[in-house]
Amino acid sequence: MSVRARDGLRAALAAGLLAVLLSACAGSSSRYPVPALPVSKLEQLRADALRALPPEETGEFLDTDLVEVVTLDPGLRLDVRYAGSDNFLRAPIYPEARVFLQRPAAEAVVRANRVLQAHGYGLLLFDGYRPWYVTRMFWDATPSEQRNFVADPATGSRHNRGCAIDLSLFDLKTGLEVPMPSGYDEFSERAHPDYAGGKAEQRAARDLLRTTMEAEGFTVNDDEWWHYDCRDWQKYRIGNAFFKDLPRTR
């Protein structure tokens, strides 16, 4: 190969690699538009959130009874993205991969999982109870124009009450996560539960999940197909307990 041909090939390969990288970056930007934060900034957000206090609430509330969901049904699978770096902040937020819910909500998830198993699927759990300080971190890290995807810490999240679950489906035969019209934690219209785009089989899987969860008393979030709130969420207080202080088995 001549020098000129070799140089041309190198240039073509470099251009192709650049195109792939730009495409990947574009996709990442669409999914996670929140700028990646330096470690020092993220830790400052964490420190500020830990010093802050949740909003005061008045009235009568049910006693908190958070249960680790997988202890009720070992057929459930965990993929707790906030315990790793595959999330919109690209950094571990939780110290452990654990999912808790108030007991009635946890039992409803177990019932939904049994229904879905008849269709060849299982439930893949991303997140449940979330300490309030984490909601404060998410809010502070998110640009104002994207805050419809995160809860306002001034009022608290239904995750903070142990009454919201983020989840998807996995295929019982392959063990693989079932493709949906968008990825989890994606900040785009593709994440809306009524999004009409994507592939028909993706929408069908999303809609099966929704039908099954709604039959157990959950309602889907307007912006996130994966987020479901259980009935009576308003009857529980905002929580800020650390995972390490919650029971491992019930």
**Alpha-carbon torsion, ordered 197, 200, 205, 206, to 10 deg:** 20
Of residues 160, 168, 110, the one with CA closest to residue 139: 160
Angle at 78 between CA 89 and CA 186, to 5 degrees: 35
Please give the C-alpha separations between residue 94 and each of 25, 97, 242, in angstroms, as whole numbers. Answer: 26, 7, 9
Catalytic residue IDs = 224
Q: Mean pLDDT for each consecutive 10-residue tract of the chain (250 residues)?
A: 50 37 38 80 97 96 96 97 94 96 98 98 98 97 88 96 98 98 94 97 98 98 97 96 84
pTM (predicted TM-score): 0.85
The residue type found at 111 is R
Angle (nearest 5°) at CA 149 between 239 and 72? 45
3-class SS at 6?
helix
| Residue whose entry in the numeric block shows the structure tokens 């994507």 | 198
Concatenated DSSP letters of 204-226: HHHHHHHHHHHHTT-EE-SS-TT
Distance of CA 39 to the CA centre of its chain: 21
